[in-house]
A and B are shown apart, each in its own frame.
Chain A
Amino acid sequence: MTSVEEKNTFFRDLQDNEELMTEILGGSVDLVKRRITFHEHKNVQALCYYTDGLADVTHIEQFISDLLYKGNLLLQHATLPTDNPLTLLKEHMLSSASFQVIKEVGQAVDGILSGVAVLILDGSNDVFLIQTKGWEKRGVDEPQTEQVVRGPRDGFTESIRTNTALVRRRIRDPKLRIEQMTVGKRSKTDVNIAYIGDIVKEGLVEEVKKRINDINIDAILESGYIEELIEDAPRSPFTTVQSTERPDKVASSLLEGRVAIFVDNTPFVLVVPSFFWQFLQASDDYYSRWMTGSFFRAIRYLAFVLSLTLTSIYVMLVSFHQEMIPTQLILTIASGREVVPFPVLLEALLMETAFELMREAGLRMPKPVGQAVSIVGSLVIGQAAVQAGIVSPFMVIIVALTGIASFAIPNYAASFSIRLIRFPLLIAAGMLGLLGFSAMFALLAIHALTLRSFGESYLAPATPFQPKDQKDSIIRFPWWKMQARPMGVTGDEKRVGDNQFPEPPNTDPYSDEAGNRDEDNQKGRDQSKRKKSRHIIKLKGDDEE
Chain B
Amino acid sequence: MKRQASWSLLLIMILLVTGCAGKRELNELALVMAVGIDKGEGENAFKVTAQIARPADARGQTGAPSGQTGEPIYTIVGQGESLFDAIRDLSSISSRNVFWAHNQVIVISEELAKEGISQVIDFFTRNPELRMRTWIVITPEEASTLVSTVTGLELIPGEAVNKLFRYGKISTVAPNTQILDVQAAYLSQSSQPIMARVTLKEVMISNKKPEKGPTIKQVDLAGAGVFKEDRLVGILKPEETRVLMLFTEGLQSGVVTTACKDKPERTIGVELRDQMFEVTPHLKDGQISFTAQLDAYAMVVEAGCPFTIDDQKQVAELEKAIEKELKKEIDTTVDKLQKEYKTDVIELGKVFQNEYPGYWNQISDNWAEVFPTVDIKAFVNVEITDSVLLWEETNSGKKENSAD
Q: Do chains A and B touch in the complex (CB under 8 A)?
A: yes
Which of B19, B53, B64, B101 is close to A436, meaning CB atoms less than 8 Å apart? B19
B170 interface contact, C-beta 8 A: no
Quick one: which of A310-361 are within 8 Å of B by CB? 318-320, 322-323, 327-328, 330-340, 343-344
Task: Check A320–B102 contact: CB distance below 8 A.
Answer: no
The smallest C-beta distance from A398 to any residue of chain B, in angstroms, reads 13
A80 interface contact, C-beta 8 A: no
- Please name the residue on chain A nearest to B130 by beta carbon: A323
CA distance A428 to B13 in the complex (A): 10
Task: Check B23–A334 contact: CB distance below 8 A.
Answer: no
Task: Check B26–A333 contact: CB distance below 8 A.
Answer: yes
CA distance A110 to B335 in the complex (A): 110
Chain A residues contacting B66 (CB-CB under 8 Å) are 338-339, 389
Task: Check A392–B63 contact: CB distance below 8 A.
Answer: yes
Task: Check A334–B26 contact: CB distance below 8 A.
Answer: yes
Chain A residues contacting B58 (CB-CB under 8 Å) are 331, 335
Task: Check A336–B63 contact: CB distance below 8 A.
Answer: yes
On whether A334 and B159 interact (CB within 8 A), knowing A339-B64, A433-B22, the answer reads no
B-facing mask of A50-67, CB < 8 A → 1, else 0? 000000000000000000
Task: Check B31–A387 contact: CB distance below 8 A.
Answer: no
Task: Check B23–A389 contact: CB distance below 8 A.
Answer: no
Task: Check A323–B129 contact: CB distance below 8 A.
Answer: yes
CA distance A330 to B15 in the complex (A): 29
A386 interface contact, C-beta 8 A: yes
Q: List, sorted by A's number, 24 A–B pairs whose CB atoms are closer than 8 Å.
A: A235-B5, A318-B25, A319-B26, A320-B22, A322-B31, A322-B99, A327-B104, A328-B159, A330-B31, A332-B59, A334-B31, A335-B55, A335-B60, A336-B62, A337-B26, A338-B56, A338-B63, A340-B27, A343-B23, A344-B26, A386-B63, A387-B65, A389-B64, A432-B20
The smallest C-beta distance from B233 to any residue of chain A, in angstroms, reads 33
CA distance A235 to B104 in the complex (A): 50
Chain A residues contacting B24 (CB-CB under 8 Å) are 319-320, 322
B336 interface contact, C-beta 8 A: no
Task: Check A431–B16 contact: CB distance below 8 A.
Answer: yes
Task: Check B59–A322 contact: CB distance below 8 A.
Answer: no
The smallest C-beta distance from A316 to any residue of chain B, in angstroms, reads 10
CA distance A431 to B62 in the complex (A): 27
CA distance A393 to B64 in the complex (A): 9
CA distance A318 to B23 in the complex (A): 10
Chain A residues contacting B27 (CB-CB under 8 Å) are 334, 337-338, 340
Interface residues of A, Cβ cutoff 8 Å to B: 235, 318-320, 322-323, 327-328, 330-340, 343-344, 386-389, 392-393, 427-428, 431-433, 436, 439, 443
What 8 pairs between A and B have smallest CB-CB spacing?
Answer: A323-B101, A389-B64, A431-B19, A334-B55, A335-B59, A335-B55, A336-B63, A336-B62
Task: Check A331–B63 contact: CB distance below 8 A.
Answer: no
Taking chain A's interface residues, is the majority helix, strand, or loop, or is none over half, making it mixed?
A: helix
Which of B16, B33, B104, B159 is close to A427, meaning CB atoms less than 8 Å apart? B16
Chain A residues contacting B29 (CB-CB under 8 Å) are 322, 334
Chain A residues contacting B53 (CB-CB under 8 Å) are 331, 334
The smallest C-beta distance from B23 to any residue of chain A, in angstroms, reads 6
B217 interface contact, C-beta 8 A: no
Residue picked from A322, A335, A389, most chain B C-beta under 10 Å = A335
B389 interface contact, C-beta 8 A: no
The smallest C-beta distance from B38 to any residue of chain A, in angstroms, reads 24
CA distance A427 to B63 in the complex (A): 25
Residue picked from A235, A330, A334, A431, most chain B C-beta under 10 Å = A334
Which of A323, A328, A339, A343 is close to B63, meaning CB atoms less than 8 Å apart? A339
- Please name the residue on chain A nearest to B158 by beta carbon: A327
A-facing mask of B43-72, CB < 8 A → 1, else 0? 000000000010110111111111000000
Task: Check A332–B62 contact: CB distance below 8 A.
Answer: yes
On whether A323 and B102 interact (CB within 8 A), knowing A331-B59, A432-B19, A436-B19, the answer reads yes
B131 interface contact, C-beta 8 A: yes
- Please name the residue on chain A nearest to B162 by beta carbon: A327
Chain B residues contacting A431 (CB-CB under 8 Å) are 15-16, 19-20, 23
CA distance A495 to B317 in the complex (A): 76
The smallest C-beta distance from B123 to any residue of chain A, in angstroms, reads 17
B388 interface contact, C-beta 8 A: no
CA distance A235 to B53 in the complex (A): 50
- Please name the residue on chain A nearest to B60 by beta carbon: A335
The smallest C-beta distance from B72 to any residue of chain A, in angstroms, reads 9
B21 interface contact, C-beta 8 A: yes
Quick one: which of B1-26 are within 8 Å of A by CB? 1, 5, 8, 15-16, 19-26
The smallest C-beta distance from A202 to any residue of chain B, in angstroms, reads 29
The smallest C-beta distance from B377 to any residue of chain A, in angstroms, reads 45
CA distance A428 to B16 in the complex (A): 7
Task: Check A386–B64 contact: CB distance below 8 A.
Answer: yes
CA distance A283 to B5 in the complex (A): 38
The smallest C-beta distance from B393 to any residue of chain A, in angstroms, reads 47
On whether A432 and B15 interact (CB within 8 A), knowing A320-B22, A331-B53, A340-B27, the answer reads yes
